[in-house]
Amino acid sequence: MARPRKKTLNNAAEDDPITEALKNIPADKLRAILKRDRMFTFRLSEMDRQSMDEVAKAMDLSTAEYLIRIHHHVYEKMREAGIVK
């Protein structure tokens, strides 16, 4: 059975704050951000993993993509507030 197609910036809901934040990033920077050439590993509780998996599934994302998008959303808000560059 084919895996459901993931949301992209072109077909995501307009009211999705993560999508809205990513729309403001220039195309060349977004390509650099989305380039997946680094591995990141960490430990977490089973409860945290299950809740992350549940939210990611509800958003039709992998857990890794969910975490990356959340990071970009928070980073954009902190950049707007002048906390980070």
The position carrying tokens 């902190």 is 78
The position carrying tokens 């591995």 is 39
What amino acid occupies position 76? Answer: E
The position carrying tokens 């403001």 is 24
Helix axis angle, 46-58 relative to 63-80, nearest 10°? Answer: 80
CA-only gyration radius of the chain, Å: 14
Whole-model pTM over 0.75: no
| pLDDT exceeds cutoff 80 at 67 | yes
Per-residue confidence (pLDDT) for residue 19, from 0 to 100? 76
Q: What is the pLDDT of residues 8-53, one digit of tens each?
A: 555 555 667 777 777 778 888 887 877 778 888 999 999 999 999 9
Instruction: Name the pLDDT band for 3 (thresholds 50, 70, 90).
Output: low
- For the chain, the domains span 44-85
